[in-house]
Amino acid sequence: MKRTMYFPATILLALACCMWSCKKDYGNLNSPTAEQFLNNASKSELNNLVSGTESGMRNNAALYLDDVGTIGREGYRFSGSEPRYVTDLLGANSGTLSSSNFYITTPWASHYRVIKNCNILIQSAANATTITDAEKKGYSGFAKTIKAYQLLLNLNLTDSNGIRIDVNDPDHLGPIVGYDAALTTIALLLDSAKTDLTGAAVSFPLAGFGSFSDAAGLVQFNRSLAARVAVYRQQWASALTYLNDSFFSLNGDFNTGVNHVFGTGSGDQLNPAFIPLNQAGEIRVAHPSYATDITPGDDRINKAPLRNATASLNGLSSNRDVWVYTSSTAPMPIIRNEELILIYAEAKIALNSFPDAIVALNVIRTKHNLPAYAGAVTQNALTTEMLNQRRYSLFYEGHRWVDMRRYNRLGELPIDRPGDDVWTMFPLPVTEN
Amino acid sequence: MKNLKPFYLGLWCLLLMPLLLFSQGRTVTGNITDINGRPIAGATVSLKQLNQLTTSDASGRFTLSIPAGATSIMISSTGFKSKTVSVDAGAASVTVQLEEDVARLDEVVVTGLATSVKRKNLANAVASISAQQLTGVAPGQTLDGVLSGKIPGALINANSGAPGGGSSVKLRGVTSVYGNTQPLYVIDGVFIDNTATSGGLNAVTGAASGGAPTSNQDNPSSRISDIRPEDIENIEILKGASAASIYGSKASAGVIIITTQRGRQGKTSITVSQDLGQIRVRKLLGVRQFTAARAASLSSDSATSVALAKQFTDAQAAGHIYDYEKEVYGNKGFARNTVLSMSGGSDKTTFFFSAATKKEDGIVKNTGYKNTAFRLNVDHRLSDRIKIGVSTNYINSSADRGISGNDNSGVSLGIALASTPSFAQLHPDNQGNYPNNPFAASNPLQTIALMRNNESVNRFIGGANIEAVLQKSLQSTTKFVGRGGVDFYNLQTNVQFPGILQFQAVNKGTSIQGFTKNLSTNYIFSLVNSYTPSSALALTTSAGITQETGDYNNLLNVATQVIAGQSNVDQAGALTATQFRSKYQNNGIFAQEEATLLEGITLTAGVRFDRSSNNGNVAHYYAYPKAGVSWNLTQLGFGKNTFFNNFKLRAAYGEATNVPAYGSKFTSAVVSNIAGNPGSLINTQQGDPAIQPERQKELETGLDFSILKGRLGFELTYYYKKIDNFLMLSNLPASSGFSTKWLNAGDLRNQGVELGMNAKPIQTRNVTWNSSVNFWLNRSKVTRFIIPPIPQGSFGYVLGSFQVEQGKSATQIVGLNGAGVGVLGDAEPKFQMSTYNDITFFNKLSLRFLLHWKHGGDNINLTSLQNDFGGTSVDYDNVTNKQGLPDGVYRITQVGVNAEQFVKDAGYLRLREIGLYYSITKLPVSFIRGIRVGVSLNNYLTITKYKSYDPEVSNFGTGFSTGVDVDPYPATKRADFHISVDF
């Protein structure tokens, strides 16, 4: 009898004593942590960061294209469930762009998330003891190049509202930097990346870089971006220099370049900008002016084929789909030769080397089934022609709005409804203030 | 922790005390009735200060062995005043009449982990719900659904009308912003897991951007809804830290203690009951009446307008104008519920067994809910000193929830309906092929017919408790009380979108299968000593240890490009798998002392120490003190025989916390692959290695009294609850690479009053009327907030958003007000009231009803906005605005200028439950002891100004931001017929 009574109490006390010693810490059961990478990462861990970076660049890429494409009047994103594509972005009802809405906060955050990944990659590579110095330079050159590209995309959205450059320490962020200073920093970052990549050993796999996956190829990619930044900065001569070190080829394939690639593998993504033809409800249609402004015969009309039925929403309508991304695994260009040819033309126009410019413009025109340029040979006329070719060649690749803004021509973009506006820039996300 | 050593020393001393044994005496039999002579079943008969007890059988009779020296026995039963009866040495039988306890002063309320006190000595306002109130009026589908309106101090909100439940229960205001706001549920001592597991609908709806397969907008059910309400004997609600702090680190949102039915000694009684019912939509919004001109105005393109007008006139000529809202939501669901229960046992062993099955169809075709459950509760008296009890419960439930709520792909029913005019042709052809809906991304009729969103659960809950008397003397009793149990479930979520669905053009068929396994365990071991040195002083000392563990593992597979007709995830061209695991262990140590002086003053003090593997510092024990005092003036002899029958003052203080969410201390990297290369991408949430629990301190004070011979009882309570260092998933500047970080961001407080009245306005031989009225309100205020206010948990200022801000109510809703950003409303109701009434005629016919009034409290109503955008709102063409535009057009012009039209008063007056029951006790056949028949209605009458399906709604589930209304599964009402037979 007595034994039964003591039994539970003994258990109780034994457990109480045991409890002091057996504290539990389960760690993170679901994924690696930033601390793990920073603490002497292995090569395969660093390669995971590289692939995560390349993969992460695709997050919300379609939203970025819709932001730039809608304000640049390239197309409309009709959505039965998200009215703000056709209200806020087009400035309907004398509303304004909000600093707390998804169209700025989401792409902005996605780009900085990739930048964070790049910063962790740079730091982890520096801390790693099992890789060579040349390999370290490979990682940091790649990371810096991608960082510069992501900063540029955000600057394209916020323009003279600026971006934040120094973001390495989340608890002590640097200041918001204005447009010109930000572009300068981006250019310097690309230069620094190029220095790292020169003579670096690239021991990581890349997916969308094709033949530019080695150190020499990454330098070419880096210089292509540098050329884009140079024309943004109106440093025309530099742009031409950078083109020489890039994969620019006046007579080469327009589509040579670096892409976001998509796949159906586990943890991979499908091209979010792909919407099949003739859908209802969730659709992306070309701005009506795309077809009305196009030169007859231009094969680029195929980027906006006719729909079975006109789509309408909220006082807007279009009978053509955007058809740039034609399958769920179609690649999305980061930068490609067609843009470089047009950058070449742009720099030549600015430097008054009109014959060179016309040669380049004619390369574009001829390949798109148009006759050679026959317009006036003035800087203004050629600029208009160059911008027009950019409009059609780079349709829905995220350029039109930025280009028109660079040349102060936003006023030329069409207004579809009374009260609509063409925004110059997005406000900084509310969390940045 | 060294300071606890003397305490353990004390425990040993208690154990070593000499044990006292008793000799057996004689047997007493008795008969227990109410004042009208009706037998009272299940009354507890005990010997004062001793451990012997028994319960009365169905006819009110009992038999009890008592020792030679004993002279009195105590009789108690829920709802009646306890009575002590003297049994003279010669008497062998007694007849006892119990008086009804309107103010429920003698109800025993659990106040510690192993101890309880009578309500008349209670220092807190502890709400309790009886089985009658829970399921005896108009039973609902799930447990979470039947709590509404029954807990003073609570804001209970159904997330949607989808079958299978899912409700937010907030006790005494918001207790956390991004932490857990939902109370802890404890059933027979077992801590119940209430995790809402998403089925991965976000992979299809894209309701939350970012590409994750799950989001808080996936509308999963609550796991508490698995529990069958019919098995419940009683529910007690510890609303705040002052009562709940003995539960330590899991108690800051309150504790709901559920006791299930136990067996009764005596002849085995069998009850079979059957409910049959019909479920209908509570309200439809109506659809726009089109004309050719209105059809034309859907497009701004002239050619399209002409085509639309023709489409309308053609449809009209052919008689093909449809009310799709009614077709989708207007179905009638059949509901059945069968329960078999058995109870009985000997004086050593009693058991309660129930088997139940229910099947209910939803108002949308192919939706519905099924639940089959078994329960076996056994109590056994091993010896005079040792008592063990076992509770087991197996549940199999299945909910087909359909697809509703917010989405960004145009696939949810409401979103698709919003842009589908009545002249669209969506019906299948003779071969059963559905046409594409030219007005939306999906054809809702096709979606309903072909999709599936099922949650099915197999769950076992088992608990055991042991009470052993270690030492007993006339003045002191020491018991060991051990309680513990396991809650294990497998949850399978199965979401199927076949490739022929209109919106599956890209994915060509999606199959999302989730497998979740959860094991929670907990135990409490304690020693309880009751020491009564004199009749003027009684001391109850308890101390013990606790442990809770959880192990959750969720595997979610999203397959796309699925082979036609197949659902297995390997029968697909693409497969993405995600897995989430979490694991925790919490340990606690507690001690509590309760002293009752002169049976009128009760002092309670206790402390609990808790640590958790989820805290930043896993070794640190956090302390949670509590103290309470109640002063019953009547018991002390003040004012006896005056106006007051009972008068009590009380005050209580306690602290409790919420353990941080699992993983909040890590900065993790998620998997993000590309072209077969495995990639790591840093998460958007920055970890905090030093994360601490948020602490709640609550002071509660009140006054209880009853008058008119106890026929009218009042309970008045005021509470002041402060949450220090509340956790915010604060929005970081996104340029840091992180969007969010856990941060102890400020302080907030809730204060409120709860007034309760219990009355028996009529008590005659033929008619009795019991009534209770409750009134409660809560006000919150953010007293300190260290980060800039930013919109939270909705869709931004343009559409109205929650925003935590210093000096403002925690649940304020802000948005554009025409002149900038301003406060537009508050989710907190101004007050709530409910009244429960039970009127019985001739002991046979009972009318019971529950009326619930929520005054104020705003929702963010975006359902109407969606309909305006789609040009289908019923009032689209009315002209009531000053600009002379059609209202639908006018409202759209206000988007981006003014969000006031979305933030709407969601107050209501609702006849939640009404039931009429008739019992027949005198039957020609002897094997049937009684038959009860009844009819009941739920939600049949609602008076509200709110313009959407229902004022009770939450697109974002159970978290902080309830009340966002985006095309939910519409709320339902139900009518039931009940019959139950006792054998």
Size of chain B in residues: 983
Asked if B870 has any chain A CB less than 8 Å from its own CB, the reply is yes
B52 confidence band (pLDDT: 50, 70, 90): low
- Give A114 to chain B, closest Cα distance, Å: 7
Angstrom distance (rounded) from CA B484 to CA B462: 8
Tokens at residue B674, please?
Answer: 């590309």
Q: Which range (A74-78, A412-416, B231-235) has the least confidence? A: B231-235
A18 touches chain B (CB under 8 A): no
Q: Give the span between the Cα atoms of B354 and B261, in whole angstroms.
A: 10
Give tens-digit pLDDT for B498-537: 988 888 887 888 999 999 999 999 999 989 888 888 888 8
Q: Residue B34's beta-bridge partner residues?
A: B98
Averaged over B397-408, what is the pLDDT?
86
Which one-letter DSSP state was computed for residue A28? -
Q: Phi then psi for B870, rounded to 5 degrees?
A: -85, -5
**A282 contact partners, CB below 8 Å, separation of at least 6:** A78, A79, A80, A81, A275, B408, B409, B410, B441, B503
pLDDT at B793: 67
Higher-pLDDT residue of A65 and B665 is A65
Mutate to test the interface with A, among B569, B677, B814 (most CBs of A within 10 A): B677
Residue A393 has pLDDT above 50, yes or no: yes
Mean pLDDT of B334-338: 92
Q: Between chain A and chain B, how many beta carbons pairs sit less than 8 Å apart?
A: 340
Half-sphere exposure of B8 (CA within 13 A, CB side): 15
B580: which chain A residues are within 8 Å (Cβ-Cβ)? Answer: 30
Residue A59 tokens read as 């997050």
Instruction: Give the count of beta carbons closer than 10 Å to the beta carbon of residue B926.
Output: 6
Q: What is the pLDDT of residues A206-264, one digit of tens each?
A: 999 999 999 999 999 999 999 999 999 999 999 999 999 999 999 999 999 999 999 98
Rounded Cα distance, B92 and B369, in Å: 54
Asked whether the predicted pLDDT for residue B460 surpasses 90, the reply is: yes
A179 C-beta neighbours (distance < 10 Å), count: 17
A8-22 b/e (C-beta count within 10 Å ≥ 16 → b): bbeebbebbeebeee
A179: helix, strand or coil:
helix
Q: Domain ranges in chain B?
A: 2-100, 128-283+331-862+902-982, 292-322
- Asked whether the beta carbons of residue B669 and residue A80 sit closer than 8 angstroms, the reply is no
Q: Which residues contact A319 (CB under 8 A, 6 or more apart)?
A: A285, A288, A306, A307, A309, A310, A311, B301
Residue B601 CB neighbour total at 10 angstroms: 17
- pLDDT, one tens digit per residue, over A57-93 is 999 999 999 999 999 999 999 987 788 899 899 998 7
- Compute the distance between CA of residue B576 and CA of residue B559 in angstroms, rounded to an integer: 6
Average pLDDT of the residues in B844-869: 89
Is B544 touching A (CB cutoff 8 A)?
Answer: yes
Residues of A within 8 A of B406 (CB-CB) are 81
- Range in A21-25, B540-544, B848-852 with the lowest mean pLDDT: A21-25
Sequence ranges of the domains in chain A: 32-205
Per-residue pLDDT for B232 more than 80? Answer: yes
DSSP label at residue A353:
-
Contact list, B437 vs chain A (CB under 8 Å): 280-281
* Radius of gyration in angstroms for the set of CA atoms belonging to chain B, rounded to a whole number: 30
How much is the pLDDT for B17? Answer: 39
Which among B906, B897, B976 has a CA at the least distance from the CA of B934? Answer: B976
Give the bridge partners for B943, in sequence order.
B909
CB contacts, 8 Å: B738 with chain A: 113, 116, 170
A359-363, B4-8, B253-257: segment of lowest average pLDDT: B4-8
Residue among B244, B390, B394, B268 nearest B341 (CA): B268
Per-residue pLDDT at A6 exceeds 70: no
**Taking a C-beta distance cutoff of 8 angstroms, is the pair A103, A84 a contact?**
yes
CB under 8 Å to A27, separation ≥6 — which residues?
Answer: none
Chain A contact present for B668, CB below 8 A: yes
Using CB atoms, pick whichever of B383, B580, B798 lies closest to residue A101: B798
Least confident of B58-72, B287-301, B872-886: B58-72
**What pLDDT, on the 0 to 100 scale, is given for residue A30?**
85
Q: Which residues have C-beta within 8 Å of that of residue A380, sequence separation ≥ 6? A: none
pLDDT on residue A186:
97
Neighbouring CB atoms inside 10 A of A90's CB total: 25
Helix, strand, or coil (residue B780): strand
Residues in A closer than 8 angstroms to B410, CB to CB, are 79-81, 281-282
Check B678 against A279: CB less than 8 A apart: no
Average pLDDT over residues A364-389: 96
| Mean pLDDT, rounded, for B394-407 | 89
Helix (H, G, I), strand (E, B) or coil at A5: helix
Average pLDDT on B782-810 reads 83
| B482 min Cα distance to partner chain A (Å) | 8
Is the CB of A33 less than 8 angstroms away from the CB of B666? yes
Could you give the CA distance from residue B154 to residue A426 in angstroms, rounded to a whole number? 43
Distance from CA of B903 to the nearest CA of A (A): 18
In this complex, is the C-beta atom of B555 within 8 Å of any C-beta atom belonging to chain A? no
Give the span between the Cα atoms of B149 and B62, in whole angstroms.
Answer: 37
Residue type for B424, please?
A
pLDDT at residue B176 tops 80? no
pLDDT at residue B296 is higher than 70:
yes
Check if the beta carbon of residue A247 is closer than 8 Å to that of residue A337: yes
**B332, pLDDT greater than 70:** yes
Looking at residue B49, what is its pLDDT?
52
Residue of A nearest to B681 (CA): A52
Question: Residue B9 and residue B11: Cα distance in Å, rounded?
Answer: 5
Residues 126-155 of B with CB under 8 A from A: none
* Cβ contact A206:A261 at 8 Å: no
Closest CA–CA distance from residue A232 to any residue of chain B (Å): 22
Picking from A15, A31, A42, A81 by the largest number of B CB atoms within 10 A of its own CB, the best residue to mutate is A81
Residue A4: closest CA among B388, B56, B307, B501: B388
Looking at residue B102, its pLDDT comes to 65
Q: A378-382, B237-241, B391-395, B774-778: which range is least confident on average?
A: B237-241
Which pLDDT belongs to residue B924?
79
Contact residues, chain A, for B303 at CB < 8 Å: 310
**pLDDT mean across residues, chain B:** 84
Residue A150 scores a pLDDT above 70? yes
d(CA A417, CA B267): 82
Is pLDDT above 50 for B7?
no
What is the token pair recorded at B749?
A: 């407080």
Closest CA to B905 of B852, B956, B944: B944
Give the residue among B403, B333, B399 at the shortest CA–CA distance from B372.
B399
Pair type for strands B255-260 and B184-187: parallel
Non-local CB neighbours of B240 within 8 Å, separated by 6+ positions: B171, B172, B254, B654, B656, B696, B698, B700, B719, B721
* Domain A32-205 coded CATH 1.10.600: no
Interface of B with A in 17-56 (CB under 8 A): 19
pLDDT at position B200 = 82
Cβ contact, residue pair A13, B8, below 8 Å? yes
Q: What is the CA radius of gyration of chain A?
A: 26
Segment A409-419 mean pLDDT: 93
Q: Indicate the range of A340-354, A356-370, B201-215, B952-966 predicted with least confidence.
A: B201-215
Instruction: State which amino acid sits at residue B395.
Output: I
| Residue reference for tokens 């078994």 | B374
Q: Counting runs of H as helices and runs of E as strands, what totals does chain A give?
A: 14, 8
Q: Token digits for B715? A: 């309970």
Taking contacts as CB-CB distances below 8 angstroms, the residues of chain B near A55 are 672-674, 677, 679, 681
- Is B397 in a helix, a strand, or coil? strand
B1 has a pLDDT exceeding 60: no
Sign of CA dihedral B732, B737, B738, B744: negative
Higher local confidence (pLDDT), A359 or B121: A359
Distance CA B97, CA B93 (A): 14
Q: Å from B942 to nearest chain A CA?
A: 29
For A84, phi then psi, to 5°, come to -70, -15
Query: What kind and span of H or E run contains B629?
Result: strand B622-632
pLDDT digits (tens, 9 = 90+) for A176-194: 999 999 999 999 999 999 9
| Burial class, B856, CB count within 10 angstroms (exposed 0-12 / middle 13-18 / buried 19+) | middle
Chain B, 574 to 613: residues with Cβ < 8 Å from chain A are 574-577, 579-585, 587, 589, 611, 613
Question: Is the pLDDT reported for residue B236 higher than 60?
Answer: yes
Please tell me the distance from the alpha carbon of residue B145 to that of residue B160, in angstroms, as a whole number.
Answer: 11
Q: Please state which architecture CATH assigns to domain B2-100.
A: Sandwich (2.60)
Q: Which residues of chain B make contact with A108, given a CB cutoff of 8 A? A: 734-735
Of the candidate CATH numbers 2.40.170.20, 3.40.50.2300, 3.40.50.1370, 3.40.50.300, the domain formed by B128-283+331-862+902-982 belongs to 2.40.170.20
- CA angle (B500, B503, B505) in 5-degree steps: 65
Q: Which residues contact B250 (CB under 8 A, 6 or more apart)?
A: B184, B191, B548, B586, B658, B659
Say yes or no to pLDDT of A319 above 60.
yes
> Cβ contact (<8 Å) for A431 and B732?
yes
Whether B364 and B182 have beta carbons less than 8 Å apart is answered as no
What percent of chain B stands above pLDDT 90?
Answer: 25
Answer yes or no: do A266 and B576 touch at CB < 8 A: yes
In this prediction, residue A16 carries a pLDDT of 59
3-state secondary structure of B741: strand
Give the DSSP H/E element, type plus range, for residue A328. none
- Pick from B583, B674, B733: which is nearest to A29 by CB? B583
In the three-class reduction of DSSP (H, G, I as helix; E, B as strand; rest coil), residue A39 is classed as coil
Q: What is the token pair recorded at B966? A: 């985006």
